[in-house]
Structure 1
């Protein structure tokens, strides 16, 4: 589990590249290695390590904010505990379950928020990214759809399994 702590976060735009880079951290002279341009059609272009990449901007829905996190080794203070039954089998008697509960402490690491964003740029080889088949674009859209389904209320009039809630 993670506990997110807000630090001084800057506005940024994550870039998903179709490459594997064995480096993690800042580089000196960033414009020398990364200088995207936008053409008259609004398509982003960049040459990275000799390859021509095309960028597609994927905005997050207006009610979402992306966060760039740095996971630390610090542990958050224990403020809440979860309880689980002490036996692995389910009991049919609920009174026995309440008597046999134990406290379970979870280790919660601290993640510092170092940036926030409202769009992602997905880069591809040889042309703009096909939004219907790119795994990153589909992954972001599916995650948003899943989050919406997880947090919707039946009282909001959202259809469930093809039928309106009663």
Structure 2
């Protein structure tokens, strides 16, 4: 299981780039490498390592907030959880089980993300990231019925 703690999350906009970066950490003077702009039609453009990229903004549904999590080595004290089994449409209580609960810190939250592509706007019907987010939200809605999904928090 996972417990999410929110010390001071910052508002941010994740950017999914069509590139593999072999770096994980802060970048000094990020504006030297990343300066997205919008044209007169509101379309996003950026140059990364000399390549022209086109951005497609993907807003989350209005009742969701995305979260950027940092996994920690912390764990909550062991907790007990009842296992449940379903037998012929009746739920039966099972054994008392010890559950490890890892702690993740929420360092950022977002309302939208930008998917970047080469040669024009990203094809929303073909891009795996766009389809993944849209399908995941639909799956979370179907599973939970009330809009609460894993990785996103329902507002209100």
Q: Which residue of 2 aligns with 1:151?
A: 144
Give 1:78 shift.
2.6
Distance in 2 (CA, whole Å) between partners of 1:48 and 1:25 is 18
* Structure 1: distance between partners of 2:36 and 2:53: 9
Point out where structure 1 has 5 or more consecutive residues left out of the alignment. Answer: 154-166
RMSD: 2.2
**CA positional deviation for 1:18:** 0.6
User: How many pairs are equivalent?
Assistant: 144
| C-alpha distance in 2 between matches for 1:84 and 1:148 | 23
Contact 2:46 2:53 in 1 (8 A): yes
Cα distance in 1, alignment partners of residues 106 and 80 from structure 2: 22
Whose strand proportion is higher, 1 or 2?
2
Query: Which residue is 2:62 aligned to?
Result: 62
Q: What is the distance in 1 between the residues matched to 2:37 and 2:50?
A: 16
Q: Distance in 2 between matches of 1:91 and 1:30?
A: 56
Q: Deviations over 1:68-120 (max 9, x none)?
A: 100111111233423368xxxx999x9xx86xx43321221100001100001
TM-score (normalised: structure 2):
0.84
Among 101, 108, 128, the alignment partner of 1:115 is 108
Higher helix share: 1
1:37-85 per-residue CA deviation (whole Å, 9 max, x = no partner) reads 1111111111101111100000000000000100111111233423368
Q: How does 1:1-166 map to 2 (within 5 A)?
A: 1-83=1-83, 101-152=94-145
Q: TM-score, normalised by structure 1?
A: 0.79
